[in-house]
Amino acid sequence: MRSTRDRIGEILEILYRDYPQSHTALKFKKPLQIMVATILSAQCTDEKVNQITPSLFRKYQTPADFASADQKELEEEIRSSGFFRNKAKNVINASKKIVEDFKGEVPDEMEDLITLPGVARKTANIVLSSAFKKAQGIAVDTHVSRLSQRLGLSMEKDPNKIERDLMRLVPREDWIDFNYMLVNHGRKICPARKPLCPQCEIKHLCPSAKDFFPESELNL
């Protein structure tokens, strides 16, 4: 198996070919909406979040709207996303801070975004890449974490450490696309329980493929 640095270029080439124009599955029209949707997506599917947000975004259209929301009422509106009490509290408190400290505008810098309640680096990266087209890091969700380890791009388990490894390996101009392409590949080919290695276009670059299937089935 070639070194990680030797493999990353070909991995990127294949991902771009197989998943062109990848982007977040969360539906949004402005930075506030992708921030809220990403907070709701923790331990919840994007599909479920997309069912919740249309009516939510009609009712709460600005940070001031969310900041003044009744927490119990908001909890009921997002209940099906799970962990709704904590999520409602974070959405309200993050919105209050946006109103008070950022003149009612969702900030577009990592150092500012991560000061918002409920917004860690993963959420901040998604907001920056999706809403502002800014590459200030690589969002590490469960798909990116799993595939980074299987592909041998990082041996770390902590998302922040995985992100640091990826930022050293992946060219900066590819940071925005990398998360979304890995997410798509994880959903289509490399799920947690049973990866479809024989169908995988990057199996010859993956040190984990032989852990799931014998070489005779992989056609390496």
Cite the active site residues. 122, 141
Q: Which two tokens mark 57?
A: 């975004």
**CA atoms of 140 and 200, how far apart (whole Å):** 21
Angle, helix 175-188 to helix 121-131, in steps of 10 degrees: 110
CA distance 177 to 183: 10
**Per-residue H/E/C for 146-192:** HHHHHCCCCCCCCHHHHHHHHHHHCCHHHHHHHHHHHHHHHHHCCCC
Residue 69 half-sphere exposure toward CB, CA atoms < 13 A: 28
| Count of alpha carbons within 13 angstroms of residue 208, beta-carbon side | 17
35, 107 Cβ separation under 8 angstroms: no
